[in-house]
């Protein structure tokens, strides 16, 4: 049996049982380690993915409930916004240990898809669902702002 869904554009089936979370299926069964296990309690955002285009904490999602849905992880994000974020995070030295960055990347990508030129307050609001235990929020904010600047340059 198992649960079938689309993962980063490809069909997959996992054998995970009814109590298993999408996070564990992604990491242990499908080998995608980019989605992080932080708190496991829907508090930190390290496990953030997109399900049918909406942000979700994958640690709080039963894998069975993803049947027939479209799941995107950090590994599947491609295109100008993802490229701008990668460059900007590198140039801004975003983060410290970087454990939180995958989830933040997914959240920031979602924000920039909806709003390519967010104000700092809008970035803060979007990232309020993602914690950074290193307290590296300043560099992460600068990274997202830098990504927006790169996108603005591209759009000129």
Positions in the binding site for ligand FES (CB under 6 A): 37-40, 42-47, 57, 59, 95-100, 132-134, 136
As measured in angstroms, the least distance from the Cβ of 43 to ligand FES is: 5
Which residue from 139, 135, 132, 144 is spatially nearest to 88, judged by alpha carbons?
144
User: Shortest Cβ distance from residue 132 to ligand FES (Å)?
Assistant: 3
Q: How far is the CB of 14 from ligand FES (least distance, A)?
A: 18
Q: Which is nearer to ligand FES, 88 or 151 (CB)?
A: 88
| Least separation in angstroms between CB 104 and ligand FES | 8
Residue 124 corresponds to which tokens in the numbers above?
A: 């803060």
Q: Is 127 in contact with 141 (CB distance < 8 Å)?
A: yes
- Going by the DSSP 8-state scheme, the letter that residue 54 receives in this structure is E
The nearer residue to ligand FES, 95 or 151, going by C-beta atoms, is: 95
Centre a 10 Å sphere on the Cβ of residue 96 and count the other Cβ atoms it contains. Answer: 15
In the complex with ligand FES, the residue whose CB is nearer, 54 or 156, is 54
Rounded distance, CA 149 to CA 88, Å?
A: 9
């Amino acid at each position: 049996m198992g649960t079938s869904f689309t993962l980063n554009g490809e069909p997959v089936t996992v054998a995970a049982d009814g109590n298993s979370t999408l996070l564990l299926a992604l990491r242990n069964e499908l080998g995608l380690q980019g989605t992080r296990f932080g708190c496991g309690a829907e508090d930190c955002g390290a496990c953030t993915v997109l399900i049918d285009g909406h942000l979700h904490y994958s640690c709080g999602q039963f894998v069975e409930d993803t049947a027939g849905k479209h799941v995107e992880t950090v590994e599947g994000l491609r295109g100008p916004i993802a490229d701008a974020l990668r460059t900007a995070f590198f140039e801004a030295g975003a983060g410290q240990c970087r454990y939180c960055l995958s989830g933040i990347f997914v959240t920031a990508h979602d924000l920039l898809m909806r709003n390519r030129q967010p104000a700092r307050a809008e970035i803060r609001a979007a990232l309020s669902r993602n914690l950074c235990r290193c307290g590296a929020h300043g560099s992460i904010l600068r990274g997202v702002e830098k990504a927006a600047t790169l996108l603005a340059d591209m759009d000129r």
